[in-house]
Structures are given as structure tokens and as C-alpha cells.
Amino acid sequence: MATIMDSMTVKPLSDALGVEVSGVNAADLGEATFKELREIFHENLVVVVKDQDLSPAEQTEFAQRFGEIQYHISPEYLMDGQPEVMILSNEKEDGKFIGLPDGGSEWHSDHSYVDQPTGYTMLHAIKVPKDGGDTEWTNMVKAYETLSDEMKERLEGVIGIHSFNRLKNQRLTVPVRHMNDPDYYKRSPPDAFHPIARTHPHTGKKALYISPRFTIGIKDMDDTEAQPLLDKLFAHIKNRDFIYRHRWTEGDLLMWDNRTTLHLALLGVPEGQARRMHRTTVLGEIPF
């Protein structure tokens, strides 16, 4: 395994967060290299492993090294024969999308609307359009650390309310394709309650854990106080100093830590250009 470790190169992606790793094969990582990679990942929040040629089964096995797979609550875009992989794509077959076409179009952390949200997400870039389709991540550790002491004190022990249901979220509109689809809203789990200042289980660092997509209010706080506070925090997390924008290359295996980042799919892919990503999610802990 020494040869694999020796060939691994790591370079920063931006001042905000992230590193690029090359010279490794995610389908064939020795234990020592895997542990080193996981350490680098926790410290840098986003890792893109370049030039990966992984089958969906190999991607699943790689994800399982980080923990238990978390299945998405929308079953329609899970891959036939490999449901651990969800397809994100604008491609159509027989007039129907083969994957979720507009996933991630508001800032969010994956599955924060359940009691035990996602720890890690991996996206494998299978088809990348010439134009559009970039993704952004914001560093929620920096977002927390740059709050005033007064704000940090105000947030101590404060609990955010998270919901999948767009109808409960005053900041969102309902996409046309869900307007006449009551089943989509029926599948929404009960609201989840998580600390707004969350501690990372491995690094011990604190991060803000809220998002415009899923955080709809604050427990035991009237909306007249809670919504302006959320607006202030949502404006703060969009500071460009905290944000990295990724331009995808086919073969990128990009993973992010959902405890310490939010992400946003910028969409904007022109008609006729294909984008296809294979996504796996790994269960995290109950936030504390």
C-alpha cells in the first residue's frame, strides 16, 4: 500500500474550503491511505478525488467504508439494481427524466429534515455539460467562528426546526412539477429538531447547522423573532469568503461533510447538454 500512499497528492481547492486529491483509486485504497484520506476530509470539509472510473457498485463500497448508506426518501431516482446510488440528471428516456433533474437548487445540508441526517455525500461525475452545472459549498465552521461573541451566546442551546415539506417553508416556492403532486408532500417525515450550533464528532469543531431549504423555524421561539434571526444567519453563510465553486470534470468523485458545509447546485445547463451524477449518502450521527 506504500506505493498508493506515496503517489497521493493533495492541493487546496480554495481559501474557503476543500482539497483536490490525485494519484489514488478509490476502488482500491489500502486501510492506511483510507484513514489518511478521511482525516484530510474532516479537516478540509470537501475533497475531490480526480480521475475516478468507478462502477456504481464500487462507489457504494467506497461509501460504505465511511458508514451505513442512507437511502433517499424519494425512491423514483434510485438506480435499478443498485439503490444505494441515486441518479441526478437532466437526461430523459421515453420522455421521462432518468434522474432527479433539479436536486439541490437551494442551499442545504443533506437529509437535515430527519432525526439522524447524512454525515457524508459522494457525487461521481459521469457526464459533465460544457456550460453550467457547477456546484457551490459554504464553510459552516467559518460561518460559526466569524459570528460575534454575542451571537454565539444567543445561539447556545437553540434548536432549529427542519422540514422536507416546501409548503411549510415561507422562503420557498413549489416547483411546477410538484404542484399537483400531493404524494410528494405526504412523504415528508415529521419535522426534525437540531442544535443550530452543532459539534463535529471527529474534530470537535462547532458549525452552524441551518439552511434556507430545510430550516423553517426555531423551537420555542415566536416567528416574529425566529424568522429575522434566520434571515440574518442565512445572509451571513452566503459570504463569498466562505464559498467554493466547483467546475466539474468527468471522473471527479467529490465528497462533502454535511455537518460542516451547505451546498447549492447552480443548475443552468442549456437544453441539449447532458449532466449526470451518481450520488451516495452515508448516515451520520444524531446532531449534538
Contact call for residue 109 and ligand SIN (CB under 6 A): no
C-alpha dist (Å) from residue 244 to 12, 61, 137, 201, 259: 11, 28, 5, 23, 16
- Give, in degrees to the nearest 5, the angle at Cα 25 between 19 and 29: 95
**Residue with smaller CB distance to ligand SIN, 133 or 217:** 133
Q: Give the one residue of 101, 103, 217, 284 binding ligand SIN; rule: CB under 6 A.
A: 103
Question: Which residue, 4 or 79, has its beta carbon nearer to ligand SIN?
Answer: 79
Nearer Cβ to ligand SIN, position 42 or 279? 279
Output the smallest distance, CB 157 to ligand SIN, in A.
29
Taking the C-alpha atoms of residue 200 and residue 155, their distance in angstroms, rounded to an integer, is: 16
Tell me, rounded to whole angstroms, the distance of Cα 28 from its chain centroid: 24
Q: Which is nearer to ligand SIN, 103 or 195 (CB)?
A: 103
Separation CA 5–CA 12 (nearest Å): 18
Residues in region 260-279 near ligand SIN by CB under 6 A: 263, 265, 277, 279
Binding mask 113-142 for ligand SIN (x = CB under 6 A): ----------------------x-------
457525487: which residue's cell?
A: 123
How many residues make contact with ligand SIN (CB under 6 A)?
A: 8
Considering only CA atoms, give the Rg of the chain.
19
Grid coordinates representing 92? 430523459
Would you tell me which residues interact with ligand SIN (CB under 6 A)? 88, 103-104, 135, 263, 265, 277, 279
